[in-house]
Structures are given as structure tokens and as C-alpha cells.
Amino acid sequence: MQELERFRHPNKPFTYRLNRQHKADYTKGPVREDPQNTKGSKLEAFSDYLTDHRPVSASMYALVRNAIALLVGGQGSLHNIAGNLYQSQFIKRTFGKKAMKPQLVADLISYIMPKLLGEENSGVSAIQITDGSTERIMYTYKFQTTSKEDLEIIAGSGKKNTLPKKKRVGRASTVRSLPLSPPFTPSPIPTSPFPELPVRTAEQTV
């Protein structure tokens, strides 16, 4: 029910309230557009994984991003992501005559996760962990502690890799161009011309 509500309002952040081992809230930003270079046969194949009756915003990539955001503690393996994805009500239970979950894991490894890791403002990062002779990759949801306001900014920031800085208004935006000469302002005090002084002749000065 929460998932349906989330994708019915794709332009708003949404908080999942899950009751797992411990009650926890998981906030996800607005649904982002799919990577632009995914159109083609592979993307069409993903439509076979999805149920027919679902919101338009519930694409395969949107569901995977959702599954990453719901990782316990914000971190998990590829199988953890596939497990969350398989719980989606918009994912079919079977792929042909085969179980869907192994198919999801295979496509996550080969195609989907590399796309999401390489996209602008990616919400997931990966780190390789070596434990003796065993190597495994752990994935981390990068926006686990990000506020709803910043999640909205990230979703609408296009190709910027970081949160866009607030615009600073400089003086140039408020200074008007000055006229070439100052305007004429009449004096508030009435004035009169000085009286003309009489011109003295040489005889008057003797």
C-alpha cells in the first residue's frame, strides 16, 4: 500500500514506515527519470518483469532505486537489493517458467547497477570488501540522512553532481545605470539675481 502511494505521487518525497526487526523510517526523494541511454531492446525486456497494472512512474529503474533506499541501515549486498526488489508488488513472481528472483540478480549485476552507479547524482555507491579469500561488493544508499528539501533539489538538479548552491545576489543586479549628466533639480529656496552695482567714473573717485 505504501509503495502504491509512493508511485502515485512521483513528484514528492515519500517516507516508508516499515516494521522490521526495529521500526524505521526510510525517506526517498521524488522519482527520477530513467537514464536516457537505456532505450532499446534491454529496456523493453524489463517490461516483461513488471506487472501490467502499475503507475507509469514505477519503471524498472525506479523500483531498483527504491529497493536500494530501503536497505537496512542504508547498506547491503546485491542479493539484499534483489530481495527488496522482489517484494515489490509491481514485480512479477515468475519470468516465463523460471523463478523471477535469480533473473533479477543476474540483470542487476550485468546491466542495472552499472547504469545507476554511473548516472549523474547517483544515489548509490559501491565498495569491494575482502574477507580472507572472499571478495564481495557492498552497496550504500548515499542519501540516507538527506532531508526532504534537499532530496527535492537533487531530483531536479539535472546533471549536477552536488547540491546546487544558493544563488547569491550581487550589487550589479541592484545598481541602475546612471545618466550621463545629473538631472536638473530646482532649488526649494526662491532666489533673485544680485542687483547691478553702479559704475564709478574717474571724476567720482577723485
Query: Which of 8-12, 74-78, 158-162 is predicted least confidently?
Result: 158-162
Residue span of the structural domain in which 147 resides? 2-155
Q: How far is it, in rounded angstroms, from Cα 72 to Cα 81?
A: 10
Number of domains in the chain: 1
Distances from the Cα of 93 to the Cα of 88, 98, 174, angstroms: 10, 9, 61
Q: In this model, does residue 201 exceed pLDDT 90? A: no
- C-alpha neighbours within 13 Å on the C-beta side of residue 40: 5
Q: Is residue 201 included in any domain, yes or no?
A: no
Q: Where are the alpha helices (DSSP H) in 50-127?
A: 60-69, 78-86, 100-107, 113-118
DSSP code of 31? P
Look at strands 94-95 and 75-76 and give their pairing: unpaired
Looking at per-residue pLDDT, the higher value among 112 and 160 belongs to 112
| Residue 110 included in any domain | yes
Region of residue 121 (left: phi > 0; alpha: psi -120 to 50; beta: else): left
In a domain, 41, yes or no: yes
Task: Give domain status of residue 47, yes or no.
Answer: yes
pLDDT at residue 76, as a whole number: 93
Please say if the pLDDT value at position 158 is more than 60.
no
> Comparing 21-30, 123-132, 163-172, which segment has the lowest mean pLDDT?
163-172
Please name the residue ranges forming H helices in 90-161. 100-107, 113-118, 148-155
Confidence of residue 189 (pLDDT cuts 50, 70, 90): very low
Cell of 43: 529496456
Q: Which residues pair with 125 in a beta bridge?
A: 140
Q: Cα(19)–Cα(72) distance, rounded to whole angstroms?
A: 11
- pLDDT band at residue 6, thresholds of 50, 70 and 90? very high
- At residue 49, the pLDDT reads 86
Going by pLDDT thresholds of 50, 70 and 90, the confidence category of residue 133 is confident
Q: Which residue has the higher pLDDT, 43 or 200?
A: 43
